[in-house]
Amino acid sequence: MPRFQKYEQKIRKYKDKLKNLITRIGISYTDEFELNSEVPKKLSLPCHIGFLFFGEYNEDLFEKIMFYLEKIFDSFFFSIKNMGTYNFSFELISKGVRTEYREIRKSSDKIKIHPTNKFYQILIKKRIEENLGMIIAVTDLPLYSSTDDNIIFLFGETHLKHRCCVISSLKLKEQFYNREPNLFIFEQRVIKEIIHEVGHIILGSNHCINNSCVMWFSHDIKEIDNKLFDFCDSCKTKLEQIRANYNF
Ligand SMILES: [Zn+2]
Ligand SMILES: [Zn+2]
């Protein structure tokens, strides 16, 4: 018994020491995902674009993404690369995680949501390594914005300066709304969100005022379904201006 007490005391002492150390060196969530501080070179077009998947997706999803990107951003990309599935390490998956109530009316379960910076940190590194103009992550995980943590369960976000974006496919699934799964509708939504975020990297942060344009800001799933894959005439003109500026 005395021996046991002694160990208990020792453990408590170490725990306190560790706690002090953590406070002293100032570990906090915001420091956890420090993004690359170097200012990236300006986007040059055409460029190479890469896709990284965080989760299980149908094999032919990438083919469909490629088909639409080639059609809508005709000649903007030298190549569209599938960089495969990224496996988070156990430590990384739990980093920065917050729990929130699920965003559907009936449910009261809490769900783990992840900061967008966690993805940007990985994407920036990959973009530089692979010499890509831009890089896109598609994940099944629910996200919150690292720049404004009131923005939760977002569909997608772009880091303009570092030319990377992340799409969360969780809320694009019919199952999220307690409806029957529908792969066709799901993939259409994923592709629209990808075109939207790539559109931001090329055209900037503005949204379009035309609710059938892919650059319309979708407040909910219905608004994603109602918009087209393509840019409206006014956004198309902007794309053509950019093409003319880069001379391709
Ligand atoms: Zn947007
Ligand atoms: Zn538009």
**For 60-71, how does the pLDDT look when each residue is reduced to its tens digit (9 = 90+)?**
999 999 999 999
CA 236 to centroid of ligand 2, rounded, Å = 7
pLDDT band for position 182 (cuts 50, 70, 90): very high
Q: Which ligand is nearest to the CA of 200?
A: 1
Q: Which ligand is nearest to the CA of 196?
A: 1
CB-count exposure of residue 101 (10 Å: 0-12, 13-18, 19+): exposed
Q: Which ligand is nearest to the CA of 237?
A: 2
Q: Which ligand is nearest to the CA of 235?
A: 2
- Catalytic residue, chosen from 100, 174, 197, 240, is 197
Dump the DSSP string for 149-184: TT-BS-SEEEETTTTEEEEE-GGGSGGGGT----HH
- Does pTM top 0.75 for this prediction? yes
Q: For residue 123, give the H/E element and its range.
A: helix 116-129
CA 29 to centroid of ligand 1, rounded, Å = 25
Q: Which amino acid is at 53?
A: F
Catalogue the long-range contacts made by 73-76 (C-beta closer than 8 Å, 24 or more residues apart).
73/198, 73/202, 73/239, 75/46, 75/243, 75/248, 76/45, 76/46, 76/47, 76/202, 76/243
**For 195-245, how does the pLDDT look when each residue is reduced to its tens digit (9 = 90+)?**
999 999 999 999 999 999 999 999 999 999 999 999 999 999 999 999 999
Cα(7)–Cα(13) distance, integer angstroms: 10
CA 203 to centroid of ligand 2, rounded, Å = 11
Say if CB 242 and CB 205 are below 8 A apart.
no
Is the pLDDT confidence value at 21 over 80? no
**For 105-138, how does the pLDDT look when each residue is reduced to its tens digit (9 = 90+)?**
556 678 889 999 999 999 999 999 999 999 999 9
DSSP class of residue 44 equals -
CA 217 to centroid of ligand 1, rounded, Å = 5
CA 114 to centroid of ligand 1, rounded, Å = 19
* pLDDT for 115: 94
CA 66 to centroid of ligand 1, rounded, Å = 20
Is the pLDDT confidence value at 104 over 70? no
Is 197 assigned a catalytic role? yes
Mean pLDDT of 147-156: 89
**For 79-101, how does the pLDDT look when each residue is reduced to its tens digit (9 = 90+)?**
999 999 999 888 888 888 888 87
